[in-house]
Amino acid sequence: MRKYNEQNINRSTKAVWAGEKEYRVHGASQVPVVHSVAYTYDDLDDWYEVAIGNKKGHIYGRNTNPTVESFEQKIKELEGAEAATSFSTGMAAISNSLATFLKPGDRVVSIKDTYGGTNKIFSEFLPQMNIDVVLCETGNHEQIEKEVRKGCKILYLETPTNPTVKITDIKRMVKAARQAGALVFVDNTFATPINQNPLEFDVDLVIHSATKFLGGHADALGGAACGRKELIEKIYHYREINGATMDPMAAYLIIRGMKTLHLRLKQSCDSALKIAKYLQSHEQVDQVFYPGLEDHPGHDIAKKQMRQFGGMLSFSVKGGLDAVREFLPQLKYANRAANLGAVETTVGPARTTSHVENTPEERAELGIPESLVRYSVGIEDTQDLINDLEQAMAHISEKMVAKR
Ligand SMILES: *Cc1c(COP(=O)(O)O)cnc(C)c1O
């Protein structure tokens, strides 16, 4: 039997318990939503000590809030970080974390397949501030190493990526970055702390969109950054001034969602592998992208750095965009929407979701077929989802034959 001590508490237990006790009041078993904008002090000396950070407490809602702090404690524990801070959205986590450390003349190395919004920061906003950004082929480790060796301030990674679920070897990239004196940021949104803890591979900062799997119910926006205290304090300072603060109600909903994160992911990941195999054997399907498939180029690396292969997959159907137009509306158990990581299965073509900002030529260059469908596996029964895909696929074949 595993001996009890705080250090070896499992992630699933942490998901339920971590970061909550200190924030409960009046004997309640749940963390309250504190909507107060400001906190009152009768003792001026006390007020001053809290305001300058010598004493624990809260002053103003843009800086800190008890409900939001409870969320920060939970994600910190789950990532095994020294500290964590929070944001209004995942994009705020990304943009604030980058802005905290970058100044004109700096250089950033990243990959072409980052999340659409992140890609816009790299291609549109950082160059505007005279920051040089080099985007490498996702999965081309030699190219990333070569660019990092030329010198850079931040190596920014995301693994697995959207929508073709490409994998980057975190350990190998950290080694290259250390030699160049660069900080390594990893967007861990797709894997979640249940499936992957980049800090175990010595990265400097783990970033999350809490809007996706962490919250899990597609009803709250949020973001987080986890890492060493010294880095998090700097990012927190930027964020408190910049004002990209997480809303306490969102924090509450995300805390509630995180309590079932491990259970939801187990179901989604188990289903995703079965669905990927089913799709691979379907005559109407052209290509399937899922790191759990042995022929996926990132499979071996994923096996080394992930505990499960995740709840996201994508596939292209034969017959191009016309076939997708026939297929998608037929699905009964999937929301056709831009989000992912929810309890409900969510689908969308890459050309209208993750890569809507790109031209068809750019998508082609990124290896994203126009008929690519992103499928975020929910927690429904696996066979029901396969049956649903089956009937929708049958519909394409019929329609396409009728048209011919
Ligand atoms: C959605 C997403 C983001 C952005 O998060 P928001 O909460 O929508 O701002 C960043 N990275 C990844 C991988 C995402 O999927």
pLDDT at 356: 78
Under 8 Å between Cβ of 379 and 268: yes
Q: Which residue intervals of 132-196 are DSSP H helices?
A: 141-149, 170-180, 192-195
Provide the strand spans (E) within 49-170: 83-87, 107-111, 132-136, 154-158
Give domain status of residue 273, yes or no. yes
Instruction: Please give the distance, rounded to the nearest whole angstrom, from the Cα atom of residue 378 to the centre of ligand 1.
Output: 17
Give domain status of residue 127, yes or no. no
Neighbours of 244 (CB within 10 A): 19
pLDDT at 17: 95
Residues 292 and 232 in one domain: no
Indicate the pTM of the whole model. 0.96
Mean residue pLDDT of the chain comes to: 95
Mean pLDDT within 260-272: 98
And the tokens for 343? 């309890």
Mean pLDDT within 241-263: 98
Residues 368 and 325 in one domain: yes
Query: Cβ(211) to ligand 1 under 6 A?
Result: yes
Which residues are paired to 209 by β-bridges? 223
Domain of 71: which CATH number?
3.40.640.10
Instruction: Please give the distance, rounded to the nearest whole angstrom, from the Cα atom of residue 332 to the centre of ligand 1.
Output: 26
Query: Cβ(115) to ligand 1 under 6 A?
Result: yes
Amino acid at 6: E
Which residue would you say has higher pLDDT here, 202 or 398?
A: 202
Tens-digit pLDDT profile for residues 275-310: 999 999 999 999 999 999 999 999 999 999 999 999
Mean pLDDT within 112-131: 95
Query: Cβ(117) to ligand 1 under 6 A?
Result: yes
Give domain status of residue 116, yes or no. no
Residues 317 and 361 in one domain: yes
Under 8 Å between Cβ of 324 and 188: no
Give domain status of residue 272, yes or no. yes
Asked if pLDDT for residue 5 goes beyond 70, the answer is: no
Amino acid at 385: L
Residues 232 and 278 in one domain: no
Distance CA 345, CA 343 (A): 7
Give domain status of residue 300, yes or no. yes
Which residues are paired to 366 by β-bridges? none
Task: Give the percent of the chain with pLDDT over 70.
Answer: 97
Asked if pLDDT for residue 401 goes beyond 80, the answer is: no
Q: Quick one: DSSP state of residue 3? A: P
Residues 393 and 312 in one domain: yes
Burial of 239 (0-12, 13-18, 19+ CB in 10 A): buried
Ligand 1 binding pocket mutation candidate from 89, 205, 211 (most atoms within 8 A of CB): 211
Residues 237 and 377 in one domain: no
Ligand 1 binding pocket mutation candidate from 71, 75, 115 (most atoms within 8 A of CB): 115
Residues 194 and 340 in one domain: no
Atom 6, ligand 1: which residue's CA is nearest? 90
Instruction: Please give the distance, rounded to the nearest whole angstrom, from the Cα atom of residue 163 to the centre of ligand 1.
Output: 12
Domain boundary among 213, 236, 258: 258
pLDDT at 220: 98
DSSP string covering 64-77, please?
Answer: --HHHHHHHHHHHH
Give domain status of residue 138, yes or no. no
Neighbours of 114 (CB within 10 A): 22
Residues 222 and 296 in one domain: no
Please report the atom of ligand 1 found closest to the CA of residue 221. 7
Residues 14 and 59 in one domain: yes
Give domain status of residue 343, yes or no. yes
Give domain status of residue 302, yes or no. yes
Instruction: Please give the distance, rounded to the nearest whole angstrom, from the Cα atom of residue 397 to the centre of ligand 1.
Output: 34
If we measure between CA atoms, which residue out of 210, 245, 204 comes closest to residue 101? 204
Number of domain units in the chain: 2
Tens-digit pLDDT profile for residues 306-329: 999 999 999 999 999 999 999 999
pLDDT at 4: 58
Residues 67 and 182 in one domain: yes
Domain boundary among 202, 231, 258: 258
Query: Cβ(113) to ligand 1 under 6 A?
Result: no
Residues 341 and 380 in one domain: yes
Q: Is the peptide bond before 163 cis (omega within 30 degrees of 0)?
A: yes
Tens-digit pLDDT profile for residues 182-208: 999 999 999 999 999 999 999 999 999
- At 128, is the pLDDT very low, low, confident or very high (cuts 50, 70, 90)? very high
Print the domain residue range for 289.
Answer: 261-403
Amino acid at 378: G
Q: Which residue intervals of 29-89 are DSSP H helices?
A: 44-51, 66-79
Tens-digit pLDDT profile for residues 51-63: 999 999 999 999 9
Please report the atom of ligand 1 found closest to the CA of residue 93. 9
Instruction: Please give the distance, rounded to the nearest whole angstrom, from the Cα atom of residue 207 to the centre of ligand 1.
Output: 10
pLDDT at 357: 75
Residues 272 and 232 in one domain: no
And the tokens for 15? 């998901």
